[in-house]
Amino acid sequence: MLIELKKIENKDLETIRQWRINPDVSKYLYTDPQITKEEQKQWWVNKKDDEYFRIWLITVDGIKVGIYQIEKVDYRNKNVFWGYYIADKNLRGKGVGRSVECSMYDYIFDVMGMHKACTEVFSWNRDVVALHVRNGCMMEGLFKEQVLKNGLFMDVIRLGLLHDDWIKVRKDIVFEKAVVDNFEEPCVMGNPFGNEE
């Protein structure tokens, strides 16, 4: 199985929009968007050149199956927030998530030069919390009634992984390395805090 993370192109926007409005995907998101094609295009215009945001299309053997994104890139403190979803339900639980997640830890720490990677998950999503923990994350906090969704306030668990902890656990995690398109990362060379002097 060839797993790739490719930079998003305009031709991918409608596929992503369909995923985002699909209840099987949106139940895991903080929002339940009902997005028009024009709103999706505007979202992309706002995001594609944002230096604090990265997004990739996940493909398996050339078939589009989900997205992975990094946001809130903090060059000063060297941390990021990340998240992904596998829209193709037939591939959930087949190792794709582990491959994507672990490959992207390599990207976050080795290519971007970050110190910490954080994510948040609804507390009811125990399987995904357990996956993140198996992949080295530590639970760092429970945010009570953090997100209002479908008329209910939902609890959120925050997880984090430090670079040094990833180095320790990586050798014991078996995963298929994904092929990842690189972005031009400003913190790799020179000043480790980005553009600040």
For CA atoms 194, 41, 181, 60, the dihedral sign is positive
Torsion of CA 125, 97, 48, 122, to 10 degrees: 10
Please give the residue that has the higher pLDDT: either 22 or 160.
160
pTM of the predicted protein model: 0.87
SS3 content of the chain, % helix, strand, coil (to 5): 30, 30, 35
Q: Which helix (H) or strand (E) holds 18?
A: helix 13-21
At 177-192, the pLDDT tens digits run 999 988 876 644 333 4
DSSP bridge pairs for 154:
147
190: its two tokens:
């020179």
Residue 127 CA to residue 4 CA, distance in Å, equals 23
- pLDDT tens-digit series, residues 60-95: 999 999 999 999 999 999 999 999 999 988 887 778
Percent of the chain with pLDDT over 70: 93
Name the pLDDT band for 101 (thresholds 50, 70, 90).
Answer: very high
Give the range among 29-43, 53-67, 141-155 with minimum mean pLDDT.
29-43
**DSSP string for 142-193:** EEEEEEEETTEEEEEEEEEEEHHHHHHHHTT---PPPEEPPP--TTSSS-TT
Least confident of 11-20, 31-40, 79-88, 150-159: 31-40
Res 31: pLDDT: 81
Domains of the chain: 3-180 (3.40.630.30)
DSSP code of 78? T
Tally Cβ neighbours within 10 Å of residue 196: 8
Q: What's the whole-number average pLDDT of the chain?
A: 89
Quick: pLDDT tens for 37-63.
Answer: 898 888 898 888 888 999 999 999 999
| 138: β partners | 160
Partners of 85 in beta bridges: 67
Give the C-alpha distances (Å, rounded to integers) separating 81 from 36, 85, 171, 189.
26, 14, 23, 21
* CA proximity to 51, closest of 196, 185, 188, 193: 185
Percentage of the chain with pLDDT > 90? 69
